[in-house]
Amino acid sequence: MADSDLRGEAYEAEHVHAVYEQIASHFSSTRYKPWPIVSQFLTTLPPGSIGLDIGCGNGKYLPLNPSIYILASDRSTNLAKIASSHQPQSAIVADSLALPHPLKTFDFAISIAVVHHLSTVSRRREAVAAILGVLRKGGRALIYVWALEQKGSRRGWEEGGEQDVMVPWVVKGPKQVKPRKRKAKTETDEAVSMPVEGGGDRTFQRYYHLYRKGELEEDVVVAGGAVVESGYEKDNWWAIATPRWET
Amino acid sequence: MKLLTLNFLTCARKACKATNAAFPLHPKDAELEIVEVELSPLFVRNILPRVEWEALRTLCQDLGLPQLPATAPEPGELFTPNPSDGVEGEGIEEVGEEGEPTQTLKDLHHVLLETTIREGKLVCGSCGHEYAVKEGIANFLLPSHLV
Ligand SMILES: [Zn+2]
């Protein structure tokens, strides 16, 4: 896994996109609680602001502020369909590296738990550049990625560890009686129980790049942005970025 | 997809994105559907200045919808004056401040938010690529040779 040259678009198609397409409805049913930083970012925007939710998943952030307009996109058709139910917002299917939006237009953008699914550093920076590219001068993007430093979580990741990992998603089969917490499993357990059938459960592996401290800010700067504010929130790094160019 | 959405979309191809010809995308074989959306007069008022009116006009024309006026309605055309204004105007709660939404505002709401493309294609005026709309969801994923 150390060689990032082996990764890229085709790799993500198999280890990210195909997985989300299959787990869409189950994933969606577990994703309802918005992160506080994201809520705060969206609810403090002035009424009439227009922006994008890039990699919107099931659209859980779309209902937070009905006085702004959000055009959401996801690579998964199944997830975009679920997201499209939130009026007055919209949802489309698009790739974060080929966004179908006019440049230098939007007041804001959010990219929550998306950039960490890109499997090379150049693709991650390209994604950040694409987000900055659609913002008008002074526009702001909130980017949120999984942290390597998660000592408090049961996943056991911490500083100095492997940053490119596969993370299991277990869809409980109907036979399962005793509910077990998905997060309790370690990666090695998963590698063993990987065979798709097992008490009716199905396990899907998703690729993640875990960000170390300061890495997100580096990516923002290399991508042509300036960091307005950044921080750590419950196993994630986040940054509010603005384009550096003059228009 | 609602027509408002199309005001913020262009071709996904890098070479097209910066060109004027790619915006707005042109509907083809479009099957329209009216989806009822709760009227939020303030949302319509606030979003209107951000709408590229000419693009919306072109779109309505492409779809064979009633022609829109040459220029966007002025803010004053969106609400009927509140009769209580000026008479003990102070301290009135914000709700009544705007007055009643006019037919113009309601028509805008209908065009921007309730008129949707259910099936069809969106064509780039620059490269000719066609993006499919199925069950109201437009798909902008590009085949790898076009990225
Ligand atoms: Zn094009």
Does residue A12 fall inside a structural domain?
yes
The first and second tokens of residue A86, run together, are 């939130």
Does residue A153 fall inside a structural domain?
no
Q: Are A207 and A169 in contact (CB under 8 A)?
A: no
Range of the domain at A27: 3-148+210-246
The first and second tokens of residue B64, run together, are 């064979």
Residues 6+ apart with CB under 8 A from A58: A24, A27, A28, A31, A79, A82, A83
Overall number of domains in chain A: 1
pLDDT tens per residue, range A147-166: 999 887 777 788 888 899 99
Does residue A162 fall inside a structural domain?
no
Q: Average of pLDDT values for A217-235? A: 96
pLDDT at residue number A195: 39
Does residue B108 fall inside a structural domain?
yes
Strand, coil or helix: what is A218?
helix
Overall number of domains in chain B: 1
**Among A234, A35, A211, which Cα is nearest to A118's?**
A211
CA B126 to ligand 1 center in whole angstroms: 5
pLDDT at residue number A17: 87
What's the angle, vertex CA A41, arms to CA B94 and CA A233, rounded to 5? 145
Range of the domain at B45: 3-80+92-146
Does residue B59 fall inside a structural domain?
yes
- Find the CATH number of the domain harbouring A42: 3.40.50.150
Q: Are A127 and A118 in contact (CB under 8 A)?
A: yes
Stated pTM of the model: 0.86
Decide if A93 and B140 are in contact by the 8 Å CB cutoff: yes
- Find the CATH number of the domain harbouring B103: 2.20.25.10
Q: Which of B37, B43, B133 to mutate to test the interface with A (most CBs of A within 10 A)?
A: B43
Q: What ipTM score was computed for the predicted complex, to two decimals?
A: 0.91
Q: Are A95 and A64 in contact (CB under 8 A)?
A: no
What distance in Å separates residue A9's CA from the closest CA in chain B? 10
pLDDT at residue number A133: 97
Does residue A115 fall inside a structural domain?
yes
Does residue A192 fall inside a structural domain?
no
Does residue A104 fall inside a structural domain?
yes
Tell me, yes or no, if B14 comes closer than 8 A to chain A by beta carbon.
Answer: yes
Q: Average of pLDDT values for A127-131? A: 98
Helix axes A121-133, A215-222, angle to 10 degrees: 60
Does residue B85 fall inside a structural domain?
no
Does residue B86 fall inside a structural domain?
no
Does residue B87 fall inside a structural domain?
no
